[in-house]
């Protein structure tokens, strides 16, 4: 890493929600999803270089607030994120987030950004990147069970990276399904609203579950899953929340991001501590096998991990060199003499 120039450290780049939306449209949504998937996969290939810890969570009756930190030795990143399912009843987002990227050699932050949109993008990119390794070849049909804020991003990433062109949609709230149909009707999909989850999974090669309620739930029962399917279970993100019957796990090959976190938060929290799983970085690097047969059931128990957020922050930093959709924030005290912070304060005293 080159030595920083003092003037470069005086300000931090800040990407607001408005500028994030400008950036997405400037790059192109599907291009950005593919780019993010590539950055995430690249960081999975160097998995062993990263600091890794389960996210630091503060739980309450209303939801959860979490910090997700990691470092590759050159940069340090973290994300603040919440999960409050009740928020939708009050006209608020279930999930909001922001993130920061800093230099390890100086400790100075260099990027602060909204991550509500960016998390939706990186989550979808991760799902599709994983499916490119685990889903059956030639998969074209995906069931999307849970049609909330993540749905459109998941669908577009699966099309851009895996070739999905048919969506079978189900949500307990019909208005949510109508929202997805409205948003995606001009995007080239064959959209099939379904009355039940059982109907939604018929003929699907990929099943994505992404529901919001933080409770032990059985969105998929064992009889709903057939041989050869890939399950993209991304709704689990905290203790006490599941979407799949445990019998599905017992007959699937389960793939995870970071087992110490997934065993707390994911579908496998239902299973014994020694329940066998395969880490996705091992599949990507060739250390372990992914899909090995046409009849195999593969299951990605995705809870979201800090390295994926780090990849998204790294991607964003790189793109801001060519797409100046950011503001410069003056949040770093930068006295002429690093030892004279007090003098800098005194010189700023109003005259008169």
Is 1 contained in some domain? Answer: no
Is 102 contained in some domain? Answer: yes
Q: Which residues are designated catalytic?
A: 237
Q: Are residues 314 and 179 in the same domain?
A: no
Q: Are residues 187 and 291 in the same domain?
A: yes
Is 352 contained in some domain? Answer: no
Q: Are residues 212 and 290 in the same domain?
A: yes
What's the pLDDT score for residue 108?
94
Domain that holds residue 94: 6-117+307-343
Q: Number of structural domains, the chain?
A: 2
- Which CATH number fits the domain that encloses residue 313? 3.30.1780.10
Question: How far, rounded to the nearest angstrom, does the alpha carbon of residue 290 sit from its chain's CA centroid?
Answer: 21
Is 126 contained in some domain? Answer: no
Residues 55-83 pLDDT 10s: 999 989 888 899 999 999 999 999 999 98
pLDDT greater than 70 at residue 322: yes
Q: Are residues 225 and 102 in the same domain?
A: no
Q: Rounded to whole angstroms, what are the CA distances from 190 to 159, 166, 185, 202?
A: 12, 5, 8, 15
What's the pLDDT score for residue 126?
98
Instruction: Copy the structure tokens of residue 349.
Output: 């005293």
Element (H, E) at 318: helix 306-319
Angle formed by the axes of helices 29-45 and 116-134, nearest 10°? 70
Q: Are residues 197 and 299 in the same domain?
A: yes
What is the maximal distance between C-alpha atoms in the chain? Answer: 81
Radius of gyration, CA atoms only, the chain: 21
Residues 203-242 pLDDT 10s: 999 999 998 666 667 889 999 999 999 999 998 767 888 8
Q: Are residues 255 and 273 in the same domain?
A: yes
Q: Are residues 337 and 274 in the same domain?
A: no
Phi, psi of 253 (to 5 degrees): -90, 120
Q: Alpha helix (H) ranges present in 251-293?
A: 259-265, 280-285
Instruction: Copy the structure tokens of residue 166.
Output: 């048919």
Find out whether 146 and 157 touch, Cβ atoms under 8 Å: no
Q: Are residues 327 and 282 in the same domain?
A: no
Q: Of 24-38, 189-203, 233-247, which range is least confident?
A: 233-247
Q: Are residues 104 and 39 in the same domain?
A: yes
- Which CATH number fits the domain that encloses residue 281? 3.40.50.720
Is 350 contained in some domain? Answer: no
Phi, psi of 75 (to 5 degrees): -125, 150
Q: Are residues 241 and 280 in the same domain?
A: yes
The full 3-state SS of 93-150, as one line of letters, equals CCCCEEEEEEECCCCCEEEEEECHHHHHHHHHHHHHHHHHHHCCCCCCEEEEECCCCC
Residues 96-115 pLDDT 10s: 999 999 999 999 999 999 99
Is 348 contained in some domain? Answer: no
Q: Are residues 103 and 200 in the same domain?
A: no
Instruction: Copy the structure tokens of residue 334.
Output: 């930068």
Q: Are residues 297 and 322 in the same domain?
A: no
- Between strands 190-193 and 230-233, the pairing is unpaired
Distance CA 124, CA 152 (A): 9
Is 130 contained in some domain? Answer: no
Is 122 contained in some domain? Answer: no
The full 3-state SS of 159-193, as one line of letters, equals HHHHCCCEEEEECCCHHHHHHHHHHHCCCCCEEEE
């Amino acid at each position: 890493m080159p030595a920083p120039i003092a003037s470069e450290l005086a300000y931090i780049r800040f990407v607001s929600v408005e500028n994030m939306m400008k950036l997405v449209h400037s790059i192109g949504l599907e291009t950005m999803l593919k780019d993010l998937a590539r950055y995430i996969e690249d960081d999975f290939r160097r998995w062993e270089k990263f600091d890794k810890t389960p996210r630091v969570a503060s739980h309450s009756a209303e939801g959860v607030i979490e910090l997700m930190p990691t470092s590759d030795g050159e940069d340090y990143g973290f994300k603040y994120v919440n999960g409050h399912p009740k928020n939708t009843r009050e006209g608020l987002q279930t999930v909001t987030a922001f993130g920061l990227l800093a230099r390890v050699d100086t400790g100075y932050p260099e990027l602060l950004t909204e991550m509500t949109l960016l998390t939706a993008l990186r989550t979808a990119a991760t799902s599709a990147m994983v499916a490119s390794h685990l889903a059956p070849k030639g998969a074209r049909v995906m069931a999307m069970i849970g049609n909330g804020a993540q749905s459109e991003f998941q669908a577009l990433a699966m099309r851009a990276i895996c070739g999905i062109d048919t969506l079978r949609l189900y949500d307990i709230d019909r208005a949510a399904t109508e929202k997805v149909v409205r948003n995606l009707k001009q995007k080239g999909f064959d959209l099939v609203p379904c009355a039940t989850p059982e109907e939604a999974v018929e003929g699907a090669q990929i099943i994505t579950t992404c529901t919001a309620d933080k409770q032990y739930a059985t969105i998929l029962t064992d009889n709903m899953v057939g041989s050869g399917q890939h399950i993209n279970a991304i709704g689990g993100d905290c203790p006490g929340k599941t979407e799949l019957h445990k019998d599905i796990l017992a007959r699937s090959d389960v793939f995870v991001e970071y087992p110490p976190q997934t065993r707390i938060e994911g579908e496998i929290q239902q299973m014994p501590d020694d329940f066998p799983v395969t880490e996705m970085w091992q599949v990507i690097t060739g250390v372990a096998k992914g899909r090995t047969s046409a009849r195999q059931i593969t299951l990605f128990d995705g809870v979201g991990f800090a390295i994926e957020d780090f990849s998204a922050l790294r991607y964003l930093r790189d793109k801001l060199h060519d797409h100046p959709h950011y503001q410069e924030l003056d949040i770093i005290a930068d006295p002429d003499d690093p030892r004279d912070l007090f003098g800098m304060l005194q010189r700023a005293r109003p005259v008169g």
